[in-house]
Amino acid sequence: MALEDTRHIRKRRHVNGMKLASIVQACIIFVGLIYSVLIASWYSELAEKLWLLYQIALVTIFTTIAIFVNARRYNLFLILVLAVFIIGPFLRVSIFNIEGQAVGMFELMGGRLLDYSFIWAGFGMIIGVMHANFYLACFIILWQVFLTLFGVYNVTSNSLTFFSTDYSVIAQEIFSMHFGIFSQNIILLIFSAAALIVISLMMERNLEEATQQERSNTLLGRYFSPEVRQEIESSNFSFDSADNEEKNIAILFTDIVGFTKLSEGMKPKEVLDLLSEYQTKMVAAIFQHGGSVDKFIGDSVMATFGTPVSRGNDCQNAFNCIRQMQISMREWEQERTKNNLPTIEHRIGLHFGPCFVGNVGSEDRVEFTVIGDAVNVASRICDACKETKSEILLSDDAFLRLNEKIKTEILEDVQLRGKSKKINLHRITV
């Protein structure tokens, strides 16, 4: 999978995280809004109105994000989320300051205001983790810690406030602050921040592993049928070079008859569309019968049966695939005839023999494929269809391994191009 695909997977995870975090924030703030309307009482009418407007604005913002966020809009909403987290606390403090001045909050609460400095930190940090974006989570967590410590500084730096561990003093002096509780709150704040950053890091690593797994599944899906892919995953099959081996497999080649002449009067896109439609039909048949797509070579398709794992009688599976290919080609022929398009014919060659199955290439690029003389023989059998005026040819090695008896015309001692040894072939009409 390309790097761009990997980024797409990660962006989708981030979008889902932002959607979830926005839903949670919108719900919690909406509950707070209902509480403010029905229960809360304010001394300052201005502060009350500003607080209601502030909550309505936040519910609107986070609801909008939850509904409309997607991969294309993610960066735009990310800026909005950061703006809310940065500006929001200062707006909240400003509103509470208006209320505090109206009621004489500092004179009324004194050192007890210190406890309120820690209230919003935990909620903000958890929301940051829910965004499923490590760097965003770290910023929000550290920002919440900074805001909390800034609030602590404002209370503790006042000349009237002081720490004490004497309960009688704390009970009598409104400006006294319990040092033990303060210490616990600081430790809990730092521990929670560190723990949530570690959790975010673990989520990021899990995200990376999930991304790699999804890349692997997508890559497997391009070459192997869902059933084969499931067997690969359940059997812990490894594609490492250490697992390269020689095994007997069925190799199938197809190509379009007269493709060069057919494509002469076509535009490049028309040629591409034709190949794509043909290959789609061939791949569907291959996957339906447990085969693997090895490669596309121009107008040719190379498929293998028995790689990376065998699914029973590989030759019979390949022959069943050929049947399905022919059915698809007949249906396609009818469609093209109705649309006044030239019909497409193809040739198929099937062989069974030993091949090297594994990874080939360099350190920079590796391809899982099959190599061996059996591959060349299968390709030459497909080519021999033209010389023998055949549509489907099977080698003796493939034909004799079929579970069913098929009436065929035997072509004896056929000289394949580039091969010194003659072989017997079976012409079949499916």
pLDDT grade, residue 394 (50/70/90)?
A: very high
Read off the amino acid at residue 57. A
226-428 has CATH 3.30.70.1230 classification: yes
Q: What is the maximum span of the chain, computed from C-alpha positions, in angstroms?
A: 112
Cβ neighbour number for residue 260 with a 10 Å cutoff: 9
Q: How confident is the model at residue 177 (pLDDT cuts 50, 70, 90)?
A: confident
More confident residue, 238 or 163: 163
Record the pTM: 0.55
Sign of CA dihedral 78, 80, 84, 86: positive
Per-residue pLDDT at 334 exceeds 60: yes
Per-residue pLDDT tens digits for 289-298: 988 888 888 8
pLDDT tens per residue, range 273-308: 899 899 999 999 998 898 888 888 888 999 999 887
User: pLDDT tens digits for 217-265?
Assistant: 555 555 555 555 555 555 555 555 445 678 899 999 999 998 888 888 7
Range(s) for CATH 3.30.70.1230 in the chain? Answer: 226-428
- The residues that bridge with 253 in the sheet, in sequence order, are 302, 349
- Report the 3 state secondary structure along 366-412: EEEEEECHHHHHHHHHHHHHHHCCCCEEEEHHHHCCCCCCCCCEEEE
Q: For 29-52, what is the mean pLDDT?
A: 88
Distance (Å, whole) CA 380 – CA 425: 11
| pLDDT classification of 117: cutoffs 50, 70, 90 | confident
Distance CA 87, CA 82 (A): 8
What pLDDT, in 10s, does the model give residues 199-217?
A: 999 888 877 776 666 555 5
Tokens of 236: 């812990």
- Which of 372, 424, 422 minimizes the C-alpha distance to 400? 424
